Structure 1
Amino acid sequence: MNGPLRTMRRAARVEADVHVAVAIVGGGACGLTAALMLHDAGVDCVVLERDALPSGSTALSSGFIPAPGTRAQRAHGVTGDSAARFAADIQAKARGRAAPALVDAYATAIGPALDALQQRHGLEWLLLDGFLYPGHSVRRMHALPQKTGRALMAVLHAAAGAAGIPILTQAVVDTLVLDSAQRVLGIDYLRPDGRRETLGCAALLLACNGFGGNAQMVRTLLPEMAEARFCGHVGNDGSAIAWGRSLGARLRDLGGYQGHGSWVTPHGALMSWAVMMAGAVQVNGAGQRFHDETQGYSEAALHVLAQPQGIAWNLFDAPLLALARSFPDFCEAEAAGALRRCPSVAALADCIGCKPSVLQRTLDTVRAASAAPDGRVFARGLDAPYFAVKVTGALFHTQGGLDTAPDMRVLRRDGTPLANLLAAGGAAGGVSGDAASGYLSGNGLLSAVAGGYIAARTATTIVQSREAPTS
Structure 2
Amino acid sequence: MFKTSILFTALLSAAAFASVSAAPVQTEGTGIGKHGDIKLAVTFDNGKIQDIKVLEDHENKVLAAKVFTDLKDAVIANNSVKVDGIAGATFSSKGFLNAVSDAAKKAGVKLSDQAKKAKKADAAMPAVQNYDVVVIGAGGAGFAAAVEAKSKGANVVLIEKMPTVGGNSLISGAEMNVPNSWVQNKLNIKDDTPARMAADTLKGGDFKGDPEIVGVMTVNALPTAEWLRDTVGVNFEKDNVFQFGGHSRKRALIPEGHTGTEVITKFSALADKMGIPVITNMKAEELVKDKDGRVVAVKAVSGDKEYTFNAKGGVVLATGGFGANAQMVKKYNPNIDERFKTTDAPGTTGEALYMAEKAGGQLVNMGYIQTYPICDPISGVIELIADARFDGAILVNQEGKRFVEELERRDVISNAILKQPGFCGMTTSVRFPIL
Please indicate the TM-score interval, normalised by the length of the shorter structure: 0.5 to 0.7
Q: Which amino acid aligns with 2:426?
A: G
CA shift digits 1:139-164 (9 cap, x unpaired): 22112222112232222212221222
1:46 aligns with 2:46: no
Q: Counterpart of 2:129? A: 18
Question: Which of 415, 420, 425 is the aligned partner of 1:302?
Answer: 415
CA shift digits 1:341-378 (9 cap, x unpaired): xxxxxxxxxxxxxxxxxxxxxxxxxxxxxxxxxxxxxx
Q: Which amino acid aligns with 2:286?
A: T
Q: Distance in 2 between matches of 1:44 and 1:71?
A: 34
Q: Which amino acid aligns with 1:196?
A: E
SS of residue paired to 2:291:
coil
Q: Counterpart of 1:219? A: 330
1:196 aligns with 2:306: yes
1:263 aligns with 2:375: yes
Q: Distance in 2 between matches of 1:274 and 1:247?
A: 40
CA RMSD of aligned residues (A): 2.4
Q: Counterpart of 1:436? A: none
Q: Is this contact kept in 2: 1:24–1:45, CA < 8 A?
A: yes
Q: CA deviation at 1:216?
A: 1.3
Q: Which amino acid aligns with 1:148?
A: T
CA shift digits 1:42-65 (9 cap, x unpaired): 222110011121021111211111
SS of residue paired to 2:407:
helix
- 4+ runs deviating over 6 angstroms: none
Distance verdict in 2 for CA 1:271–1:185, change over 3 Å: closer
Q: Is this contact kept in 2: 1:262–1:297, CA < 8 A?
A: no
Q: CA deviation at 1:76?
A: 4.4
Q: Counterpart of 1:140? A: 251
CA shift digits 1:313-359 (9 cap, x unpaired): xxxxxxxxxxxxxxxxxxxxxxxxxxxxxxxxxxxxxxxxxxxxxxx
CA shift digits 1:298-323 (9 cap, x unpaired): 43223323434424xxxxxxxxxxxx
Q: Distance in 2 between matches of 1:48 and 1:166?
A: 8
Distance verdict in 2 for CA 1:301–1:247, change over 3 Å: same
Distance verdict in 2 for CA 1:79–1:222, change over 3 Å: same
Question: Which of 171, 175, 199 is the aligned partner of 1:88?
Answer: 199
Q: Which amino acid aligns with 1:289?
A: R
Q: CA deviation at 1:136?
A: 1.7
Q: Counterpart of 1:209? A: 320
CA shift digits 1:205-249 (9 cap, x unpaired): 100121112211111212222221112112222223212332343
Q: CA deviation at 1:70?
A: 3.7
1:399 aligns with 2:431: yes
Q: Counterpart of 1:238? A: 350
Distance verdict in 2 for CA 1:142–1:274, change over 3 Å: same
Q: Is this contact kept in 2: 1:71–1:115, CA < 8 A?
A: no
Q: Distance in 1 between matches of 2:279 and 2:367?
A: 32
Q: Is this contact kept in 2: 1:127–1:139, CA < 8 A?
A: no
SS of residue paired to 2:268:
helix
Distance verdict in 2 for CA 1:256–1:19, change over 3 Å: same
SS of residue paired to 1:103:
helix
CA shift digits 1:19-45 (9 cap, x unpaired): 111110000000001112222222221
Q: Counterpart of 2:45? A: none
Q: Which amino acid aligns with 1:399?
A: R
Q: Which amino acid aligns with 2:348?
A: N
Q: Is this contact kept in 2: 1:50–1:170, CA < 8 A?
A: yes
Larger radius of gyration: 2
Spell out the pairing of 1:310-321 with structure 2 (5 A cutoff): 310-311=423-424
Spell out the pairing of 1:311-350 with structure 2 (5 A cutoff): 311=424
Spell out the pairing of 1:338-417 with structure 2 (5 A cutoff): 392-396=425-429, 398-400=430-432
With normalisation by structure 1, the TM-score equals 0.60
5+ unaligned residues in a row in structure 1: which ranges?
1-14, 312-391, 401-429, 434-471
Q: Counterpart of 2:289? A: 178
Q: Counterpart of 1:124? A: 235
Q: CA deviation at 1:127?
A: 5.5
Q: Is this contact kept in 2: 1:126–1:143, CA < 8 A?
A: yes
Distance verdict in 2 for CA 1:131–1:152, change over 3 Å: closer
SS of residue paired to 2:192:
coil
Q: Distance in 1 between matches of 2:394 and 2:242?
A: 15
Q: Distance in 1 between matches of 2:242 and 2:261?
A: 23
Distance verdict in 2 for CA 1:64–1:128, change over 3 Å: farther
Q: CA deviation at 1:130?
A: 6.6
Q: Is this contact kept in 1: 2:179–2:222, CA < 8 A?
A: yes
SS of residue paired to 2:132:
strand
Q: CA deviation at 1:284?
A: 2.4
Q: Which amino acid aligns with 2:405?
A: D
Distance verdict in 2 for CA 1:111–1:208, change over 3 Å: same
Q: Distance in 1 between matches of 2:232 and 2:389?
A: 34
Q: Is this contact kept in 2: 1:39–1:165, CA < 8 A?
A: yes
SS of residue paired to 1:281:
coil
Q: Distance in 2 between matches of 1:285 and 1:308?
A: 7
SS of residue paired to 1:54:
coil
CA shift digits 1:113-150 (9 cap, x unpaired): 12112222222223673752212222221122221122
1:102 aligns with 2:213: yes
Q: Counterpart of 1:153? A: 264
Q: Counterpart of 2:9? A: none
Q: CA deviation at 1:16?
A: 7.3
Q: Distance in 2 between matches of 1:24 and 1:120?
A: 20
1:281 aligns with 2:394: yes
Q: Counterpart of 1:461? A: none
Distance verdict in 2 for CA 1:117–1:294, change over 3 Å: closer
- Range 73-82 or range 172-181, more displaced: 73-82
Q: Is this contact kept in 1: 2:136–2:317, CA < 8 A?
A: yes
SS of residue paired to 1:224:
coil
